[in-house]
Chains A and B, each alone.
Chain A
Amino acid sequence: MPETVQLFVTCLVDTFFPHVGEAIVRVLNQAGVRVEFAQAQTCCGQPAFNAGLRADARPLAEHTIRVFEQAGGAVIIPSGSCAAMVRHGYLELFRDDPLWLPRAEKLAARTYEFSEYLVDVLGITDLGARWPGKLTFHSSCHLRRALNVDRQPRALLSRIREAELVDLPEPEDCCGFGGVFSVEHPELSAEMMKRKLANFTATGAPTMVVCDTGCLMHLQGGLNRTGKPLSVVHIAEVLNSR
């Protein structure tokens, strides 16, 4: 029996980047996993939670927990920050709620970020993908620091045929997105983005790979504004490329 997993596609992929979602399903399928998609899922509640609006984040978290309680198997999230929200944020959100905390803990225990699931759970680092050209990897903050996931996407990328993986200078620096931060403090966010894009440019790679669509829409939006012919892609797009 093949493994069945639940795809929590995230509101950003669902709404803005559905092709990333499709790539994720194809890669998981390639990895021998059967993917299910619970239609009732929406958003994990991170935007409100990070803004400090916990009363508004709570119904979304409760909704998400309920949806995945109805669906069995590991929950795969193609975003470091949303996965961190479910794994850590929910425990903080429900820390004083004896009824919801155990339910949040159960979901947290079976939630994985996409690349983490491939490498740590399935033990797969080579999916036969091919991407001619240079790639650089942006290790997004919640992915690396909150989930301790960094070697997993790097392992996957190091086995892409015809790809040359180039190190990004100052890899540990935030890209400046930070959700509501980029709207509340746009000047600061812009400075941090400028530095990240300058480092990206310095690599000489035309493509930057991320595991977070938040960083992706922020950085790609910045590239669009400046008209630079560089692109930011989700790791699933690379892994799905033949």
Chain B
Amino acid sequence: MKKNIHQQIRLALADENLQIALDGNALRRTTGRRKAIAALPDYEQRRARAHAIKAEIIAHLDEYASQFAARVAENGICVHRANDAGAAIDIFLQIARERGAKLVAKSKSMVTEEIEFNHRLEAAGLRAVETDLGEYIVQLRGERPSHILTPAAHLRRQQVGQLFHEKLGVPYTEDIPEMVATARRVLREVFLTAEIGVSGVNFGVVESGTLCLVTNEGNGRMVTTIPPVHVALMGMERLVPTLDDLALFLSLLPPAAIGQRMSVYTTLINAPHRPGDADGPAERHLIIVDNGRTAMQASPLAEALACLRCGSCLNACPVFREIGGHAYLGADGSLAPYPGPIGAVVSPGLFGCENFGQLAQASSLCGACKEACPVDIDLPKLLLRVRAGEVGQKAGAGVGLPAPLKLGLKVFGATATSPAMFGLGQKAGALAGKIVLPGKNYLPLPAWTGWGYSKDFPKMAEKPFRERWKQIRQNIGEKPLEKPAAVHKQDAESAPEVDSRSLGEIFAAVAASTGSRVYRITAQSLIPELATWLRARGIARVSGDSLGAELAASLGIPFSQAPDPSSLAGITGAVTGIAESGSLVLLGGPNLPLSASLLPDFHICILYESSLVRTLNEALALPALKPAPMLEIITGPSRTGDIEMALTTGVHGPKEEHIFVLGDG
């Protein structure tokens, strides 16, 4: 039998493993977020701008979506629009059937969770394998994700070790890097054999028709690069107008989500494989999913369509910290597709207040969610609108509350509208307090009252303030005392620090902090340095782009453009580097295989110091980026925090990033 929300909450509170996992999640994620935001001096202005941009998109949602769809189609990607979950699945199944696909490699996407993609594919005889580590874990367990961003946030390492032992036949371990290595091995096979790669979309850029994906493990890159067909599913609201706006949102999302300046991989997709391109799927499809969004846009909950799905409101929420994502149940006992504060608005917003309206009552309205939101969604306001039954007429006001509680509030309201009645009520209450447990100030109410579950209730005062007022006034006198000297204290504003370091110095320092190894050398010393580097690791053959080929020739070692399993290192150039985030920007295209920076264990990147820019905005404005079918912004080695948030490198992408920065000398 399905449980109700109250039973599920009690189970969650009694689950010791869950409580430890959730405490860890809340503390580490909120600390990380605060630290990352502190590094953005103009955070509040950015946040306000992002809010305004999203408000504009939401106000004209259909126009922007149509404009975006047209641009994407012009770029050569097949665009489909789906009104609901069923339509989205039908479109996908048709693509899959036409290509005889059996195996689908999937990266994390909330919209696919929302439309129960895996479940429905399975029913149609296809196998969809989740490749994000957290998603993979919950899929193996036959569960739904418990968190928007970190699906296995409810589990501890021992549980994952046991799961891998049972399902994958590997020896039990509590060593997280070992578990990650197992997932890398098993899922690598899936990437290489899947006929279709499926991804979500974090941002669709209206002006350029670009699909932007933000990931850390590298599985998002895999599914969009390796299989011959890529299908992206996207909620129709996931739009930003321009590339410059994209840079703004990319500065807000990773700090909120993972406490980092940039995620490891920011993938920008403009087009499918074109003649001469070194790699990339020959076919790309985009399915734009409505599934209730147009209706929500016309509702008082429209503001929630600004959500970036970063999960920071979940991490900040004191209720989520107690119960996790699996306790957000609808009235019929079904699990809400979106948990946490945002889920308590979006789930009823998209799928009806009748079932999911009660989620909005599981909040103390403390506002930690709004404070944590990188686009400043007023979640307490929206939760109150759900409670008020402003969406879904059938749910009614006070949705989810028991009738006696509603009645009590109604009686109180009616009484308090009349000062005389209110005064009488106070007298009656005070009298009752005198009779029951005389001499005590607090009453030990029984647990069933709700209030009495954990605390006593104060007795009403014998004489309320309103009856004391005259006496107080008399005692104090009409005239106030002389105003005391005002004390003003203004903190002196400190002048903003000017960074006098060169872009090369900044890049090297920041990139090193993301886990990349940086070598600042001269162009002349590159060959001997590389030779030493490869010799030290016993690497005798490499893959890479045209620059890699040139270097391999100078080094006199075998080279292949397509990475084969025996080439442990991929050598590529970068079109630019971003100093403020320590990121590399790599293009796809002819002689530019993006898989060379993805499949090998080591990625070696050659970067000219003269090509560096300071900000992401500057990088995205470079003319050289425009014609690329796909580009990759890489910030550090492939990484995951999906098991107990322990940072582990080398999930699906390279285990190490080595950057040779060539100075002008």
Contact = CB atoms under 8 A, between A and B. Distances in A.
Interface string B404-438: 01100110111011110010001001000000000
A47 interface: yes
Contacts of B465: 9, 13-15, 18, 21-22, 37
Given A15-B429, A29-B481, A53 B450 contact: no
Contact of A141 (B364, B457, B469, B476): B364
Given A183-B451, A187-B9, A176 B480 contact: no
Interface stretch (A56-64, A98-106, A198-206): A56-64
Nearest to A43: B416
B331 interface: no
Interface string B364-400: 1111101100000000110010111100000001111
A141 B456 CA distance: 22
A21 B401 contact: no
A232 to B, nearest CB: 11
A86 interface: no
Given A127-B484, A181-B364, A187-B453, A22 B468 contact: yes
B362 interface: yes
Interface string B438-457: 00011010010111011111
A159 B649 CA distance: 51
Contact of B426 (A15, A48, A63): A15
B322 A50 contact: no
A220 interface: yes
B361 A185 contact: yes
A176 B364 contact: yes
B488 interface: yes
A184 B405 contact: yes
Binding site secondary structure of chain A: helix
B13 interface: yes
A52 B318 contact: no
A178 B413 contact: no
Given A146-B367, A225-B454, A49 B481 contact: no
Nearest to A41: B419
A154 B352 CA distance: 44
Interface stretch (A107-115, A130-138, A189-197): A189-197
A241 interface: no
B537 interface: no
B463 interface: yes
Contacts of A49: 384
Contacts of A181: 361-365
Contacts of A221: 442, 451, 455-458
Contact of B9 (A126, A155, A173, A188): A188
A181 B366 CA distance: 11
Contact of B455 (A18, A39, A222): A222
Interface in A147-197: 155, 159, 172-174, 176-194
A230 interface: no
A36 to B, nearest CB: 9
B444 A225 contact: yes
Interface-central residue, B370, B429, B455, by most chain A CB under 10 Å: B455
- A28, A53, A218 — which one has the most chain B CB atoms within 10 A of its CB? A53
Contacts of B367: 141-142, 145-146
A133 B412 CA distance: 40
Contact of B409 (A53, A127, A190): A53
Given A51-B401, A221-B455, A42 B364 contact: no
Contacts of B363: 178, 181
B405 A63 contact: no
B464 interface: yes
Nearest to B5: A185
A180 B464 contact: no
Contacts of B489: 125, 155
Nearest to A213: B458
A193 B363 CA distance: 14
Contacts of A57: 413
Contacts of A145: 366-368, 370-371
Given A184-B450, A225-B454, A53 B406 contact: yes
B613 to A, nearest CB: 37
B388 A52 contact: yes
Contact of A14 (B388, B414, B418, B426): B426
Contact of B368 (A14, A45, A172, A176): A172
Contacts of B9: 185, 187-188
B207 to A, nearest CB: 34
A45 B417 CA distance: 9
Nearest to B467: A18
A37 B467 CA distance: 11
B422 A42 contact: yes
A15 B409 contact: no
A222 B478 CA distance: 39
A21 to B, nearest CB: 4
Given A51-B398, A186-B450, A193-B454, A124 B487 contact: yes
B479 interface: yes
Contact of B478 (A34, A43, A142): A34
A52 to B, nearest CB: 3
Nearest to B399: A52
Contact of A123 (B406, B468, B488): B488
A222 B422 contact: no
A13, A54, A218 pick with most chain B CB within 10 angstroms: A54
A182 B458 contact: no
B461 interface: yes
B123 interface: no
A29 B410 contact: no
Interface string B94-119: 00000000000000000000000000
A126 B483 CA distance: 11
A47 B397 CA distance: 13
A98 B464 CA distance: 36
Nearest to A178: B364
B469 A39 contact: yes
Contacts of A191: 13, 322
Contacts of A182: 364, 450-451
Nearest to A177: B364
B381 A92 contact: yes
A49 to B, nearest CB: 7
Given A33-B480, A53-B398, A172-B368, A186 B451 contact: yes
B482 interface: yes
Contacts of A173: 318, 368
19 contacts: A29-B476, A32-B483, A35-B480, A39-B466, A45-B413, A45-B416, A50-B387, A51-B387, A57-B413, A59-B417, A92-B381, A123-B487, A174-B368, A176-B364, A181-B363, A181-B365, A184-B400, A221-B456, A222-B454
Given A184-B450, A225-B454, 5 more contacts: A43-B416, A59-B413, A122-B486, A180-B361, A221-B458
Interface of B: 6, 9-10, 13, 318-319, 322-323, 360-368, 370-371, 380-381, 384, 386-389, 397-402, 405-406, 409-410, 412-414, 416-419, 422, 426, 429, 441-442, 444, 447, 449-451, 453-461, 463-466, 468-469, 472-473, 476-484, 486-489
The 10 tightest CB contacts between A and B, nearest first, are: A178-B364, A32-B483, A52-B387, A221-B455, A183-B450, A186-B453, A174-B366, A190-B454, A123-B486, A145-B367
